[in-house]
Amino acid sequence: MADTLTLQAAPLTAAIRAIVKAGGSNDREADLVSTNLVEANLKGHDSHGVGMIPRYIDSIKEGGLAVNAHVSITLDSNALLTLDGNKAYGQVAGYEAIELAAERAKRHGVCVLGLSNAHHVGRIGHWAEQAIGHGLVSIHFVNVISRPVVAPWGGSDARHGTNPFCVGIPRPGKDPIVLDFATSRIAQGKTRVAYNKGEQLAPGILIDTQGNPTTDPRFSVLEPLGAILPFGEHKGSGLALICELLGGALTGGKTAHERSDGQRRVLNGMFSILVDPTKLGTAENLAREMEEYVAWHTASPKNPQTEKLMIAGEPERRYKAQRLVDGIPVDPTTWKEIIGAGAKVGLAQSDVERTAGI
């Protein structure tokens, strides 16, 4: 298949759901996983979308991802909540964790959440958006237990994961603010997408096995591996360290201080703080000052290269509006990998493609 496919969200979701369900998941789990992944594609983050399914299926086969598992509570002290993800699908563990934390935040005004040992929790902005749906501000620090892919600032090999940081702020009557980024120059999945498309990366993102600059994404995809650089030099590297310690250690989980054993699992720890502005007594002030500042912020005269000044979360909403109409692009290499994942759980290519609307 030589050309990029363009698939509508609903049939693509159905195809991914069929693969997840064939992997042993019940209906609820298959729904949570498939809708989460396609939502990432809709919002322009193909790195966290349906292209993850081949890795998930491999993780199930290896035993690193437990189907139909749920979070378990290891400590519940009103506004303090510690959860074990039990290697569950991150789409399940993340959803359950935020729902539990949101209930406590609305009851007590705040909840400090530690989630450890969850499989890949995907786009962290998804969990900030879930908290926003409850009217809550949320802050998230995440670490990654897998093969290291990011070099510390000044280093020449990989020592940690992409370690995301995220903040979500509701705006009554308007679209929320959702800041969500990897502490690496780009997410590791974006190097996979570039490799599958046969594209080069921009300079300054990646180093090769000798620590030299390269634009070839294979150094983040195939052995021998190089490393992605941190964003913002020492600042991004420092924030990655904080995400590792808070997301990995403070939650009761592990930090990524060892070389990978070669397995396909991706375990995440997430340290989150959820706050109810109403219980804090500052909801009206937050809403008023936020609108004043957003107006001030976006009134800056744009430079000639900028189409429009946007706030965090706006690019994703633009992508979603466009892709709901035009469809979701899936490159041929990624689609071949998805078909391969389906075959591993007993689904014929023709059945997957028919379900996907091809």
Burial class from Cβ neighbours inside 10 Å (0-12, 13-18, 19+) for residue 9 reads middle
Q: Give the tokens for residue 97.
A: 């964790």
Domain borders along the chain are 1-62+327-358, 69-184+230-312
Separation CA 267–CA 250 (nearest Å): 15
Fold for 1-62+327-358, please state it: Hypothetical Oxidoreductase Yiak; Chain: A, domain 1 (1.10.1530)
Query: How many alpha carbons fall within 13 Å on the CB side of residue 39?
Result: 15
**Pair of tokens at residue 48:** 């966290």
Q: Which amino acid is at 298?
A: T
Query: Do residues 161 and 227 lie in contact, with contact meaning Cβ atoms separated by under 8 Å?
Result: no
DSSP readout, 69-124?
Answer: ---EEEEEETTEEEEE-TTB-HHHHHHHHHHHHHHHHHHHSEEEEEEEEEE----T
What are 92's two structure tokens?
Answer: 């399940």
The pLDDT of residue 1 is 43
Asked whether 210 and 198 are in contact (CB, 8 A), the reply is no
Fold classified for 69-184+230-312? Ribosomal Protein S8; Chain: A, domain 1 (3.30.1370)
CA distance 124 to 168: 10
Transcribe 218-285 into DSSP letters.
GGGTSSSP-EEPBTTTHHHHHHHHHHIIIIIIITTS----S---S----EEEEEEEEE-HHHHT-HHH
Tokens of 294: 């957003």
Angstrom distance (rounded) from CA 237 to CA 348: 44
User: How high is the pLDDT of residue 353?
Assistant: 97
Q: Which amino acid is at 133?
A: G
Answer for the pair 266, 59: CB distance below 8 angstroms, yes or no: yes
Classify residue 197 by burial, with Cβ atoms within 10 Å: 0-12, 13-18, 19+: middle
Q: Which helix (H) or strand (E) holds 165?
A: strand 165-171
End-to-end CA distance of the chain: 12
Alpha-carbon distance of 215 to 55, in angstroms, equals 24
CA–CA separation, 290 vs 170, rounded Å? 10
Distance (Å, whole) CA 328 – CA 356: 11
The pLDDT value given to residue 2: 56
Looking at the whole model, is its pTM more than 0.75? Answer: yes
The rounded average pLDDT for each run of 10 residues, N- to C-terminus, in the chain (358 residues) is 86 98 98 98 96 97 97 97 98 98 98 98 98 98 95 96 97 97 93 93 96 96 93 97 98 88 87 98 98 96 92 97 98 96 98 97
Containing 20, the helix (H) or strand (E) segment is helix 9-22
Q: Can you tell me whether residue 32 is helix, strand or coil?
A: helix
* Number of other CB atoms surrounding residue 41 within 10 Å: 27
Among all chains, which residue has been given the structure tokens 């892919």?
Answer: 149
Asked whether 358 and 5 are in contact (CB, 8 A), the reply is: yes
Identify whether 54 is preceded by a cis peptide bond (ω within 30 of 0). Answer: no
Tokens of 67: 């189907």
